[in-house]
Each structure stands twice: as structure tokens, then as C-alpha cells.
Amino acid sequence: MDDATPPAVRVRRATADDAAEVLRLRQIMLDSLRAPGHPAPADWQAAALPGLRRRLACPDGDFAAFVTEHPAGGGLLGSLAVGTVDYRIGGPGDPLGARGHVFSVATDPDARRRGHARACVGALLAWFRERGVVQAGLSASPEAEPLYTSLGFTRRPQPEMRLTL
């Protein structure tokens, strides 16, 4: 390997010990989507931390986060991709009804353009396949769309509606 070749990015499954760093990276992602002049609500991370720790401590569940270490070290994470497997009634082309949803893909600004997000999303897609998922969806920002397109995702119109409870 010459000096111009970056070292391979190593991905691992996040654990409960990573929860605070996962939330830090999630905040980076949320900040990138937030309209100027709309500050983030205070203290949401403290309320989210216990539930996230419980989910990350359950390796056999339908929730997973894959992370890379930050190139600078110091216990920081460089990137993450989080996903869930949801059950839908099976149908043609998807008899098991297992659907994957990708969310909270984020990379620390100091670790960008080094393959971290690609490696994390790739590990998440492999995890989906191990669970019989044949379709996965996500919402993409315009900046992230080229990454997802290169991984095979296609844009399609969604008739989804949402209700906040």
C-alpha cells in the first residue's frame, strides 16, 4: 500500500458503551437537516440515552447500529448507520414481510470523504440480508443521495403520510 491509498475502514456493531457517541453523531445528522434559525431542543439526548443503551445491548433484536472509529482516536466514533427490521404482511417478491429501514447515517465532519459512511451502510445492508430482508428504504438528503445511489438505492415517489402522536 502506498501513501496515497487510505487504510481499510473497519466497521463494528455498536454496543451499549457507544450510546453517547451514537447520539453525538445523530445530532450532527439532525443539525445538517435543520433549517437555519431553528435550534435543536435541549436535553433530548439525556432522555434518549437509556432506551438507546437497552437497544444496543440486545444483539438479537431488530435494531442495529454499525460504527467506525474516528481516525483521530480518543474514543470518538467516525461514522454510524442505524437500521431496523419491521414486519409487514408478506406479499409477492417479499413473502417474509421483513422490511429494512436505514436511518441516522452520520459522519463526524473531521472523518468525512474517507469511506466511513459507505462501510457502515454496507455492514447494515449485510445485517438486513442475514435477517431475510429483501427491501430496505431510507430518506436521503441531496448531499447523501449519490452514496445511496451508488449502493443501489433508487428514488421513488412515496405516498406515505405521517401523524405525530
Task: Record the pTM.
Answer: 0.88
Instruction: Confirm or reject CATH 3.40.50.300 for domain 11-150, answering yes or no.
Output: no
- Angstrom distance (rounded) from CA 129 to CA 147: 19
Q: How many Å apart are CA 46 and CA 23, to the nearest integer?
A: 9
Q: What's the average model confidence in pLDDT over 47-69?
A: 95
- Among the listed ranges 16-20, 26-30, 65-69, 75-79, which one has the minimum average pLDDT value? 26-30
| Over residues 7-25, mean pLDDT | 93
> How far is the C-alpha of 117 from the C-alpha of 142, rounded, in Å?
15
62-108 pLDDT per residue, tens? 999 999 999 888 999 999 999 999 999 998 888 889 999 999 999 99
Stretch 120-149: mean pLDDT: 92
The pLDDT value given to residue 43: 83
Per-residue model confidence (pLDDT) at position 7 = 64
Residue 3 is predicted with a pLDDT of 43
Could you state, in order of their start, the residue ranges of all structural domains in the chain? Answer: 11-150
Q: What is the mean pLDDT of the chain?
A: 88
